[in-house]
Amino acid sequence: MSVRHKILLLDDDQDLLELYREMLARLPSRPEIHTATSGARAIALLESERFSLLISDLNMPKMDGLQVLTIVRRKFPQLRTAVMTSVVDTQFRARAYAMGIDLFLEKPNSNQEIAFFLDCIESLLGREMDTGFRGMQSKSLVDIIQLECLSQSSSVLKFTNGLLAGKIWFQYGELIDAETQDLGGEGAFREILSWKTGNFEILPADPERVRTIFNSYQGLLLESAQALDEAETPSASPVGAGTSGVAAESALAPLARFNGVEFVLSIRSTDSQIDSWGAENPERISQWVRQTLERFRALGDGLQAGQLNRIEGVGPQCCVALVSNADSDLCVGFHRSLSQDLVRETMDKISAKWAS
């Protein structure tokens, strides 16, 4: 008979507690949810009942989240702990991980962030499995690396796999270096990514680390996944050109290596054929690209503004740039952390490479 998990939510905002309670009620494991609005109340509940997980805010009056976590880690060493906060501070984050917490997340705002939050919490509640890494059961290295990048953290991830050990360095959400055994840079990253099980820990940031990796983490993950697939199926023949074709991916791969690029998609003008790299829903994106370009071209014609060259948009979820030539249209998605100036600068380089 499976044991129903108990989660304790700690936040001084009662309305947020009720909102998080509703979110966590969607979890497949159907945990029992308890709440506390102060650190003292949370510790009292932990002493009176057995909980599986504590999810704590950081910024609270009287006793803040870090103080609570310090007491909790000493008195309840087996309790899983997670931080969910609106305070985006690398020092807070480093201190929390140094205490041995399992997960550090920003408070979710969008549906995508809520789904990601729920997935992470469900993984913490899961039992130890034969695959995955300790700290996030059943999660692959890809999940762990993406978590570090999406949270725009500066840290060092240390992985162990039996007698093997490796490290990956991050600065403000960018993957800058890796090493394992006699390998360094991208070679070390690909080697570490091939490990299926093991343990990981998050170490404080190393601001003095020299950057050797300049490819975006999205491009590295995609290239590594493709290399692993090809290694497992060496006799597989290339798929025809299209959204999932090997040839199409290889053609766009160099454009995905620029800093901050999350996906690249091109649409051929003659037959509307789509090539994509990293796009989760290329058909939907391509439809939006065509409609957007048509509308802006019509607007340009009405204003007699001349030929449309490029469109750039910066939003809270992502940044997108569109560029068009006689043969095809190109759409590039960037990480939301990039400024408009950096998007423009990077897009200048991508456009030049694409044109060549």
Contact 38, 57 (CB under 8 A): no
Give the DSSP H/E element, type plus range, for residue 70.
helix 65-75
Mean pLDDT of 123-151: 60
Highest averaged pLDDT of the listed ranges 132-136, 259-263, 291-295: 291-295
Nearest to 53 by CA among 102, 2, 87: 102
Residue 248 has pLDDT above 50, yes or no: no
Parallel/antiparallel/unpaired status of strands 155-161 and 197-203? antiparallel
Mean pLDDT of 36-65: 88
Mean pLDDT of 328-350: 83
Contact 76, 49 (CB under 8 A): no
Q: How confident is the model at residue 231, as a pLDDT? A: 56
323-332 core/surface letters (b: 16 or more CB in 10 A; e: else): bbeeebbbbb
51-90 core/surface letters (b: 16 or more CB in 10 A; e: else): bbbbbbbbebeebbbbebbeebeeebeebbbbbbbeeeeb
Q: How confident is the model at residue 242, as a pLDDT? A: 40
Residue 225 has pLDDT above 50, yes or no: yes
Residue 130 has pLDDT above 50, yes or no: no
Q: Which residue do the tokens 């807070």 mark?
A: 92
Nearest to 165 by CA among 116, 199, 114, 117: 199
> What is the distance in angstroms between the CA of the first residue and the CA of the last residue of the chain?
63
pLDDT band at 129 (very low <50, low <70, confident <90, very high): very low
Q: Which residues pair with 103 in a beta bridge?
A: 82
Residue 257 has pLDDT above 80, yes or no: no
| 336: number of Cβ within 10 Å | 16
- SS3 labels along 129-155: CCCEEECEECCCHHHHHHHHHHCCCCE
Phi first, then psi, for residue 38 (nearest 5°) are -145, 155
Residue 247 has pLDDT above 80, yes or no: no
pLDDT band at 147 (very low <50, low <70, confident <90, very high): confident
| Alpha helices (H) in 194-339, listed in sequence order | 217-232, 246-252, 282-303
Contact 133, 199 (CB under 8 A): yes
Q: Which residues pair with 171 in a beta bridge?
A: 174
Mean pLDDT of 251-278: 80
Residue 107 has pLDDT above 90, yes or no: no
Higher per-residue confidence, 334 vs 279: 334
Give the sheet arrangement for strand 6-10, strand by strand.
Answer: 32-36, 6-10, 53-56, 80-85, 103-106
Ramachandran category for residue 79: left, alpha or beta (phi over 0 → left; psi -120 to 50 → alpha): beta
Mean pLDDT of 117-137: 61
Q: How confident is the model at residue 316, as a pLDDT? A: 62
Q: How confident is the model at residue 168, as a pLDDT? A: 93
Residue 10 has pLDDT above 90, yes or no: yes
Q: With pLDDT > 90 as the criterion, what percentage of the chain qualifies?
A: 14
Q: How confident is the model at residue 91, as a pLDDT? A: 65
Among 5-19, 120-134, 149-163, where is mean pLDDT lowest? 120-134
| Structure tokens belonging to residue 320 | 């997108």
pLDDT band at 243 (very low <50, low <70, confident <90, very high): very low
| 243: number of Cβ within 10 Å | 18
Amino acid occupying residue 44: A
pLDDT band at 184 (very low <50, low <70, confident <90, very high): very high
pLDDT band at 230 (very low <50, low <70, confident <90, very high): low
pLDDT band at 55 (very low <50, low <70, confident <90, very high): very high
Nearest to 292 by CA among 261, 257, 323, 327: 323
**Cα 324 to the center of its chain, rounded Å:** 29
Q: With pLDDT > 70 as the criterion, what percentage of the chain qualifies?
A: 81
- What is the overall mean pLDDT for the chain? 79
